[in-house]
Amino acid sequence: MNDNQITNSRELLPEPTIRRLPWYLAYVTLLRKNDVEYVSSTKIADELNVDSSQIAKDLSFLNIKGKTRIGYEVASLEQALRDFLGFDQSHNAVMVGSGSLGAALISDSGLQRYGLNIVAGVDIDPKIVGSEIGGIPIYHIDRLKELVKKMHIRIGIVAVPVDSAQDVADTMVAAGIKGIWNFTPYRIRVRDGVVIANTSIYSHLALMYNRLGTLNL
Amino acid sequence: MNDNQITNSRELLPEPTIRRLPWYLAYVTLLRKNDVEYVSSTKIADELNVDSSQIAKDLSFLNIKGKTRIGYEVASLEQALRDFLGFDQSHNAVMVGSGSLGAALISDSGLQRYGLNIVAGVDIDPKIVGSEIGGIPIYHIDRLKELVKKMHIRIGIVAVPVDSAQDVADTMVAAGIKGIWNFTPYRIRVRDGVVIANTSIYSHLALMYNRLGTLNL
């Protein structure tokens, strides 16, 4: 897909590393706001409860070096992490389904700060199509292909009922969407070359209930 | 924490199993809506791309048996999964932070369908305290302990800026919250006995950007 050596090596980045990098970013952002200038991987390890050799290994993917004894410069590490994670770029996305969760996500300006630019929503409900949510226009899903092309959209967010998750994903892929962010608990299947990221918030709830031992059986 | 044998054994349930069970639930719910009566673990395996022996093992935690050759009765399996996962019970929760994401989650009626009953929000912003979001009253965080007791709240959802995530979590634990659902990318630390569930939506975004290879470095 890419002819860029750096991008290729980055595609092989292990998923657990990608999951941990935003934790480091959150922590060094906090340090920078508190005017801390340097941080060691040992200090990050203590704070985040991650092995310090793991942190050094994770950070070795970035183009940044720590200094012996004083560690990483906080501001540089923060910027290197934001660059590496793509949070300072703008990635156009379409929200598919604008019911309760979809509308909520459209309204979450936090996503914008992490580089996700929701430029349109699509739905099938005639009561919603033609309206705006948080300033974002909602179109009929029949126009998806046209929108994807015109608005340079590569990412689609799925927040539809479970029943239609697979159908909607098929429509998205046919319209040229390359990455699907799935908020439904349904396991969407796509052909090779399309990226799926699953955010199973209900699984996290189930885990919480179970671990709390609050269930009366 | 529990004197109940069943609950104790359930607390040892492996996390990957708990994560997969909602997938099975989503799938059998769909089957039931399509009037399918029986489903085998092989069929579930094919649909969800999970090993069929893994599915049989996961479902063995539930009090349900499949029949030779025809498999599980769909309606019974759906109900057994909902019961087991706690989605049909009501778990009172407080939303801590009612900015963009917090307000969005309060407005997501989907959480209610999965047993999460957000009964109150707390904030420190005088412009928000005293108001309502989606019918849910927002109180000052100083009243958290009183609310937790009065409203039988065990779960707190953290949707505050990264800078205050740890402070807010400490306040929640001191107020008697037993389970923290953390939507910030900050790694909150709590004492033993308090449950943390992390939903790192920004990590999923980072993974998507990386896998899409859309980053220009």
Residue pLDDT, tens place only, A161-194: 888 999 999 999 999 999 999 999 899 999 988 9
Interface contact flag, B18 A207, Cβ < 8 Å: yes
Residue A210 and residue B209: Cα distance in Å, rounded? 32
Q: Nearest by CB to B210, which of A1, A13, A207?
A: A13
Domain ranges (residues) in chain B: 3-85, 91-204
Q: pLDDT per residue over B109-153, tens digit each?
A: 788 889 999 999 999 999 999 999 989 999 999 999 999 999 999
Handedness of CA B185, A148, A127, A199 (dihedral sign): negative
Q: Which residue in B181, B120, B187 sits closest to B147, CA to CA?
A: B120
What is the rounded end-to-end Cα distance, in angstroms, of chain B? Answer: 51
Interface contact flag, B107 A100, Cβ < 8 Å: yes
Say yes or no: domain A91-204 is CATH 3.40.50.720: yes
- pLDDT of B7 strictly over 60: no
Interface contact flag, B213 A7, Cβ < 8 Å: yes
- pLDDT of A7 strictly over 50: no
**Nearest CA-CA distance, residue B69 and chain A, Å:** 25
Residue A99 and residue A95: Cα distance in Å, rounded? 10
Supply angle C-alpha B22, B24, B29, rounded to 5.
Answer: 95
- pLDDT of B52 strictly over 70: yes
Taking residues B188-209, report their average pLDDT: 91
Q: CA A110 from chain center: how many Å? A: 11
B interface mutation test: which of A116, A205, A216, A217 has the most B CBs within 10 A?
Answer: A205
Residue B59 and residue B66: Cα distance in Å, rounded? 10
- In B, minimum Cα distance to A104 occurs at B104
- pLDDT of B77 strictly over 70: yes
A interface mutation test: which of B91, B160, B203, B216 has the most A CBs within 10 A?
Answer: B203
- Contacts of residue B154 in chain A, CB cutoff 8 Å? 212, 214
Interface contact flag, A19 B200, Cβ < 8 Å: yes
Q: pLDDT per residue over A29-65, tens digit each?
A: 999 999 999 999 999 999 898 999 999 999 999 988 8
Respond yes or no on whether ipTM tops 0.85. Answer: yes
pLDDT of residue B66: 85
**Nearest CA-CA distance, residue A140 and chain B, Å:** 22
- Contacts of residue B165 in chain A, CB cutoff 8 Å? 26
Three-state secondary structure readout of chain A: CCCCHHHHHHHCCCHHHHHHHHHHHHHHHHHHHCCCCEECHHHHHHHHCCCHHHHHHHHCCCCCCCECCCEEEHHHHHHHHHHHHCCCCCEEEEEECCCHHHHHHHCCCHHHHCCEEEEEEEECCCCCCCCEECCEEEEEHHHHHHHHHHCCCCEEEECCCHHHHHHHHHHHHHCCCCEEEECCCCCCCCCCCCEEEECCHHHHHHHHHHHHCCCCC
Taking residues B81-100, report their average pLDDT: 92
**CATH assignment of B3-85, given 1.10.10.10, 3.40.50.1110, 3.40.50.150, 3.40.50.1820?**
1.10.10.10
Quick count: other Cβ atoms within 10 Å of Cβ A14? 11
Calculate the dihedral angle through the C-alpha atoms of A98, A104, A110, A113, rounding to the nearest 10 degrees: 10
B12 pLDDT band, cuts 50/70/90, is low
Give the three-class secondary structure for B118: strand
Interface contact flag, A213 B30, Cβ < 8 Å: no
